[in-house]
A and B are shown apart, each in its own frame.
Chain A
Amino acid sequence: IAGITQAPTSQILAAGRRMTLRCTQDMRHNAMYWYRQDLGLGLRLIHYSNTAGTTGKGEVPDGYSVSRANTDDFPLTLASAVPSQTSVYFCASSDGKGSPLHFGNGTRLTVT
């Protein structure tokens, strides 16, 4: 079934540790995104990539980095996790401007 695969499903991480959240899509979409979802704050954009080889910052990029080496993969890295990064992280993709987002099922991250 075509779509977005995120891994891991959930993770408990000690503060200060490095963590990479994985995201892979098989729809050949050009654009990919990372959002975090927190209660009462909705979905906030962390980083995005309009096409392979390019990335951009969203609303809340601090403490996160991304790379887009190819069309299918868009990993999100927390270099040194902090408790405020406890959240549910969603990866999404889009076929282009004016096209809807397709979401993965999320990674629930707890930083202790």
Chain B
Amino acid sequence: GENVEQHPSTLSVQEGDSAVIKCTYSDSASNYFPWYKQELGKGPQLIIDIRSNVGEKKDQRIAVTLNKTAKHFSLHITETQPEDSAVYFCAATFTGNQFYFGTGTSLTVIP
């Protein structure tokens, strides 16, 4: 099956700095890559996604890049704020509509 690896597992940044989380996937047929943010006691919430026919996508302070050749994709958060502190998950779709998730990155933004 699909294997999604995510790094780092924990990340601390100063408020205003950028944060980058990286994921790799194994199945070259994967074509949809969402990113989720999970706050304490809540379910994961979609924050941005990218499809395999696009190399980069931005939404205000959040951007995602995809390198299909290398099979990796990354989440970039600029001008971080304390409310960005959460656990972030990457995912990739495999056969049908099954999603496989990375193991998560706990981001702490230090005021």
A interface residues (Cβ-Cβ under 8 A, vs B): 4, 31, 33, 35, 40-45, 48, 50, 58-59, 90, 92, 94, 96-106
Alpha-carbon separation in the docked complex, A48 to B101 (Å): 15
Nearest-Cβ distance from residue A66 to partner chain B, whole angstroms? 14
Apart from A100-B46, A106-B43: 19 A-B pairs, beta carbons within 8 A: A4-B43, A31-B97, A33-B99, A35-B101, A40-B9, A45-B100, A50-B96, A58-B98, A59-B1, A96-B97, A97-B96, A98-B97, A101-B34, A101-B44, A101-B91, A102-B46, A103-B36, A103-B44, A104-B43
Q: In the assembled complex, which residues on chain B have CB atoms less than 8 Å from the CB atom of A102? A: 46
Contact B44 A94 (CB under 8 A): no
Contact B96 A101 (CB under 8 A): no
Say yes or no: is B51 at the interface (Cβ < 8 Å to chain A): yes
Alpha-carbon separation in the docked complex, A40 to B98 (Å): 21
Contact B43 A103 (CB under 8 A): yes
Chain B, residue nearest A4 (CB): B43
Say yes or no: is B73 at the interface (Cβ < 8 Å to chain A): no
Given contacts A31-B97, A41-B103, A59-B1, contact A98 B42 (CB under 8 A): no
Classify chain B's interface size.
Answer: 20 to 34
Contact A42 B104 (CB under 8 A): yes
Contact A45 B99 (CB under 8 A): yes
Nearest-Cβ distance from residue B82 to partner chain A, whole angstroms? 22
Q: In the assembled complex, which residues on chain B have CB atoms less than 8 Å from the CB atom of A96? A: 97
Given contacts A31-B97, A100-B49, contact A42 B34 (CB under 8 A): no
Instruction: Identify which of A40, A42, A94 contacts B89 (C-beta below 8 A).
Output: A42
Contact A105 B43 (CB under 8 A): yes
Beta-carbon contacts under 8 Å, B41-87 to A = 41-46, 49, 51
Nearest-Cβ distance from residue A70 to partner chain B, whole angstroms? 19
Say yes or no: is B31 at the interface (Cβ < 8 Å to chain A): yes
Chain A, residue nearest B90 (CB): A42
Q: Mark B27-42, 1 if CB is under 8 A from A, else 0.
A: 0000110101000011
